[in-house]
Structure 1
Amino acid sequence: MSKILFVVTGATHWTLADGTRHPTGFWAEEAVAPYQAFTAAGHEVTVATPGGVVPTVDQGSLAPEMNGGPEGAERIAAGLDAFAELRKPVRLEDIDLAEYDAVFYPGGHGPMEDLAVNADSGRLLAAALDSGKPLGVVCHGPAALLAATRADGGNAFAGYRLTGFTNAEETQAGLADKAKWLLQTRLVEAGAAFQEGEPWAPHVVVDRNLVTGQNPASSVQLAQELLRKLG
């Protein structure tokens, strides 16, 4: 049995370019599907958030139209109810990477608000990358990679092949023209070799111990890849 650390946003909103707050949090499927895959394989999950706050689910991620219909929405809601660790997170600031065998970051727009500028998360990500332990990040979760800077000011993920929620997807979701910045653009500016797949289709990129998924549809495939790396 391995211990897997889920680092989840503690944000409840995403501040847009005009200063308004877009309600958000973590995206349900991106947390639930990997959690189910990991626990079904016998692994233990711990959830960490900035300050140890109980994370907020993005209500939009529970809508039937986001889950293939009412049946899918009910399945995700039930999975969320069963994910007890979400209701008792530990403080991200207190995490010792040595206690975990893998690290996973789900998305939602929340990471754009808090994890993108969280130094504790950034140090953890750089340490996880350097450790060789499996590191999985999906959708808007890669916003957290922007805080992973080296002593020389460069980004720890510069030169890595990775993916995340694309500018095309943000545009189709109707938020690109309202955003302060776009994830794909910022990751490219940080030096990442961003790999863009078709909008909304499963797309997972593996580079060494780093496994990234483009969107919610990629979360199951990403989890399977992390399980393979865990052996």
Structure 2
Amino acid sequence: MARILMVLSGVDYWTLTDGSRHPSGYWAEEFVVPHRILTQAGFTVDIAAPVGGMPAADPVSLRDDVAGPEADAFAAYIEAAAAELVNPMALSDVDTADYDAIFIPGGHGPMEDLAHDPDLGRVLIEADAAGKIIAPVCHGPAALLSANLPGGRWLFAGRTLTVFTNEEERINGTADHAPWLVETVLTARGATVRSAGTPWEAHVVIDGNLYSGQNPASSKPLAERLVAALTDH
């Protein structure tokens, strides 16, 4: 069966424009739902993070008024996976050849560390060269910014993807405090961003081996598309 590398942010904060640290991390739904779908499909899922990082769920993503009736289930799932989350594989130790796909949950955490992590950049460049599926969701595409080729060219320039949009960031109340917006920067670096017609609508974009999901609601269909693609192999 397939083996998946799930890359999580290793920080529990997001630095805002005023320099303050806002509690953050990975978004609970974007870890729990795909992890559950992938493991139930019989896939092996290994969790990795930057060297010295310990993934933490964004506390907002576990609130009843945000996660809804699944809030307690998300928290219980994360608690059950505590051993893996407390001791993730260091990205520097990842042998990309061991994996069939890379899955990257969002939350604002990836903007803080994964977007600039050279070890993740290496993993993504190697995975893309081998045609392995790379699947970020929501703010997870920020992590793609780590993949810079010699001379400064961005690996994903010219590719089509989706991401948590500027409009969704604005509705979320975080746009004015963000030091940068993922949609804006990805577009400026050369990506073509395709979004759903309605904010918060589940939306998946596939461009070759690059699979991307727009927002938390997209994590389920993105994981299901990944299962379908790897099961067909």
Partner of 2:72: 74
Q: Which amino acid aligns with 1:2?
A: A
* Unpaired runs of at least 5, structure 2: none
> Do the aligned partners of 2:11 and 2:53 also contact (CA within 8 Å) in 1?
no
Distance (whole Å) between structure 2 residues aligned to residue 130 and residue 29 of structure 1: 30
Partner of 2:112: 113
**Cα-Cα RMSD:** 1.1
> Do the aligned partners of 1:161 and 1:193 also contact (CA within 8 Å) in 2?
yes
Give how far 1:16 is off: 0.9
SS in 1 for 2:149: coil
Distance (whole Å) between structure 1 residues aligned to residue 175 and residue 125 of structure 2: 28
Give how far 1:83 is off: 2.5
Distance (whole Å) between structure 2 residues aligned to residue 229 and residue 37 of structure 1: 14
Give how far 1:52 is off: 4.5
Partner of 1:224: 224
SS in 2 for 1:51: coil
Distance (whole Å) between structure 1 residues aligned to residue 39 and residue 81 of structure 2: 10
CA-to-aligned-CA distance 1:32-51 (integer Å, 9 cap, x gap): 00000011011111111111
CA-to-aligned-CA distance 1:64-114 (integer Å, 9 cap, x gap): 1222x2x31112122222334223211111111011111110011000100
CA-to-aligned-CA distance 1:100-141 (integer Å, 9 cap, x gap): 111110011000100111111112112212211111100111
Partner of 1:6: 6
Distance (whole Å) between structure 2 residues aligned to residue 65 and residue 163 of structure 1: 26
Partner of 2:44: 44
TM-score, normalising length: structure 1: 0.96
> Do the aligned partners of 2:11 and 2:54 also contact (CA within 8 Å) in 1?
no
Give how far 1:154 is off: 1.2
Partner of 2:93: 94
Partner of 2:177: 178
> Do the aligned partners of 2:24 and 2:58 also contact (CA within 8 Å) in 1?
yes
Distance (whole Å) between structure 2 residues aligned to residue 191 and residue 220 of structure 1: 27
Q: Tell which deviates more after alignment, 80-89 or 180-189.
A: 80-89
> Do the aligned partners of 1:32 and 1:83 also contact (CA within 8 Å) in 2?
no
Q: Which amino acid aligns with 1:46?
A: D
> Do the aligned partners of 2:9 and 2:53 also contact (CA within 8 Å) in 1?
no
Distance (whole Å) between structure 1 residues aligned to residue 40 and residue 86 of structure 2: 20
> Do the aligned partners of 1:138 and 1:216 also contact (CA within 8 Å) in 2?
yes
Q: Which amino acid aligns with 1:158?
A: A
> Do the aligned partners of 1:52 and 1:90 also contact (CA within 8 Å) in 2?
no
Partner of 2:131: 132
Partner of 1:152: 151
> Do the aligned partners of 1:3 and 1:43 also contact (CA within 8 Å) in 2?
yes
SS in 2 for 1:196: coil
Distance (whole Å) between structure 2 residues aligned to residue 133 and residue 117 of structure 1: 21
SS in 2 for 1:19: coil
Distance (whole Å) between structure 1 residues aligned to residue 33 and residue 79 of structure 2: 13
Distance (whole Å) between structure 1 residues aligned to residue 31 and residue 181 of structure 2: 22
Distance (whole Å) between structure 2 residues aligned to residue 215 and residue 113 of structure 1: 18
- 1:19 counterpart = 2:12: no
TM-score, normalising length: structure 2: 0.95
Partner of 2:207: 207
Identity over aligned residues, as a percent?
51
> Do the aligned partners of 2:121 and 2:147 also contact (CA within 8 Å) in 1?
yes
How many equivalent pairs are there? Answer: 229
Partner of 2:32: 32
